[in-house]
Every structure is written in structure tokens, then in C-alpha cells.
Amino acid sequence: MRAAVYTEYGPPEVLKLTEVDKPRPKDNEILVKIHAATVTSGDVRLRSSDFPALFWLPARLIFGLFKPKKSILGHELSGVVEDKGKNVTKFAIGDHVFGTTTMLNAGSYAEYICLPQEWKHGVVAIKPKKLNFKEAAALPIGAMTAMYLLEKAEVSKSKKVLIYGASGSVGSYAVQLAKYHGTSVTGVCSEANFEMVKSLGAENLIDYKKEDYSLLPKKFDIIFDAVGYTTKSKAKKALNKGGGFVSVKMLTKEKTEHLLKIRTLAEEEKLIPFIDKTFLLDEIVKAHEYVDQGHKKGNVVIEIVK
């Protein structure tokens, strides 16, 4: 099978399209023919080893000190179950699925992958019927991160929420999920992305290039840093008493219950993936170059089966 493999850290060019052995499912695994994957900020960080100084050494010890332990990137996917192990009871051959590859030995930049039907760190489920494979592949990481952090911040009806980085993958889902909970949403992004963020449900918009949200008179009950570019100390200036700050820099956990809730919301058209650009697997270097520019809106998808 074809896969985008990297054996050293560096720029997008370290990703090489290569023929590798097609995996075979173990007793508790499903073999998925991947139709679509994405380029997440996590993929870019792992490829380049661009970790904050404080976490650089621990991250390298986990993911590979001198070279990557996991040679195939790709954190999320959608596809079709082609085979399964004898102990698999939750999925059948032919099922359309979506999920993550968290802490597995291989990622989703490939034509096939084996996923356990259950494992500690990641999740897989039947994909939403109303979404195509590209849309479904773009859901799990961003939407689950947004859901986890909003729950941590105790989101509830009538609260005022500010989402910093509202046009990114996590931010675009955070806007929609906050609106689903009946909050008033203010999105912080560039003016070029105002229409996109407004279409997702934001009532108020702030151009971070022109205004500092922490210096404005309006206060918020929740400030959600969806890109890791603001701080708790800065957020405190704009928080109401008892307000909460959450950030994508915090540890999060993937939960099957969250993936199933996300699927339900997608089926009800209350959660819509925003796809900025789509690339083919052959164009994986171009896809990473695009995300490296730091201007993507929503999600960048890798189409593996057209």
C-alpha cells in the first residue's frame, strides 16, 4: 500500500510517498481502507519537532529522541472496514467509520490502517451518515478537543464566551458547540475570516490585529484559547468574577461518548466541519506547506480515495 512516511524531523519535504506492507488486523482490530485524513496542527508539530522549550525533551522522549518512532503521521480519518479480527463485535465488514489514531504505531497518511475496536487513548465509531468521508475525517480531533475543554470550563446557557482563534479547526467547532449550549459567542480572528466565523454562529467579532480583547470593556464568563496564542494572565483581565480560562495547551482526553455526541450533532446538522482545502495523498508535502503558513481556516483534508 502507499503511505506518506517520514524518518527524520524537518520541513514538509521529509514526507515521502512510499510503498509499505499492508497491515493485517489482530484479533481485536478492524482493517480500515482509509478514504480521507487531515493535516492537524499536531501533525505539523510532530513532523517538525516544533515543541515548546519546556516540553521539547519530554516530547522527544515520547515520540522519538533522534528520529520519529511513528513513521506515518495522521491523527484522524474516515474509511470503510475491509476486514476484522475474530474478537471484533462492534463493527462489521463494510461499515463506514471515523476516528483517531492516537498513540497507535501508525497514522492515517496511508491507504490502510488497523484500529483496535477499543483502546485507552483513541476512539473509532460509525461515521455520521449525513457527512461524506472528507467531512467525517475532519471531525474527531477538533470537535472532541472543543467539547472536552468547553465541558471543563462548565459551559452553560446564557454565559458569554470568547473564542480566541475562532477560525481554526478547534475554534470553528468551539463556536458551534458554544452556540449549541445557548451561549453568546465572541470570536477572535483576522478580519478576513469574519464572515466564516459569523456563519458558524459567532455574534460578535474581534480582529486580533487591530484590537486587544483583554483591554476592551466587555467581560466574559469563559475564554477559550483555541490556538495556544493567548495566556491565562491576559485572559484574567477580560474574565468576569468566577470566569474560566481553557486552552488547547491543556491536556485533553478522547472519549467515545464525545465522539458519539459529535456524530449525533453532525446528523442533526448542528455541527458542520469547515473544510478550507483538500489535497490528494500525492500532494501531502503541499498540504503541510499550506498548514505551515499558519493561515488555514477550519480543516485541511487529505483525500486518499476519490
pTM: 0.95
Region 101-127: mean pLDDT is 97
Flag whether 236 is in a domain.
yes
Look at 52-61, 99-108, 200-209 and tell me which has the smallest mean pLDDT: 52-61
The answer to whether residue 162 scores a pLDDT higher than 90 is yes
- pLDDT bracket for residue 51 (50, 70, 90): low
The yes-or-no verdict on residue 184 having pLDDT over 60 is yes
Are the beta carbons of 140 and 79 closer than 8 angstroms? no
Based on the domain organization, do 211 and 132 belong to the same domain? Answer: no
Mean local confidence (pLDDT), 225-251: 95
Q: What pLDDT does 52 receive? A: 61
Write out the residue range of the structural domain in which residue 109 sits: 2-139+273-303
CATH at residue 207: 3.40.50.720
Q: Are 138 and 76 spatial neighbours (Cβ–Cβ below 8 Å)?
A: yes
**Mean pLDDT across 190-195:** 97
Total domain count for the chain? 2
Domain-located, residue 257: no
- DSSP letter assigned to residue 270: S
Residue 217 gets which letter from DSSP? S
Q: What is the spatial distance between Cα 24 and Cα 1, in angstroms, rounded to a whole number?
A: 12
Residue 56: band (very low, low, confident or very high) from pLDDT cuts 50, 70, 90: low
Same domain, 11 and 132: yes
Residues 132 and 152 in one domain: no
Distance in angstroms (rounded) separating the CA atoms of residues 195 and 210: 17
φ/ψ of residue 264, rounded to 5: -60, -45
Mean pLDDT of the chain: 94
Domain check: are 186 and 97 in the same one?
no
In a domain, 32, yes or no: yes
Pick the last residue of a domain from 247, 265, 281: 247
φ/ψ (deg, to 5) at 290: -65, -45
* Co-location of 91 and 43 in the same domain: yes
Judged against a pLDDT cut of 90, whether residue 55 lies above it is answered with no
The answer to whether residues 233 and 286 belong to one domain is no
260 domain residue, yes or no: no
Q: How many CB atoms lie within 10 A of CB 228?
A: 16
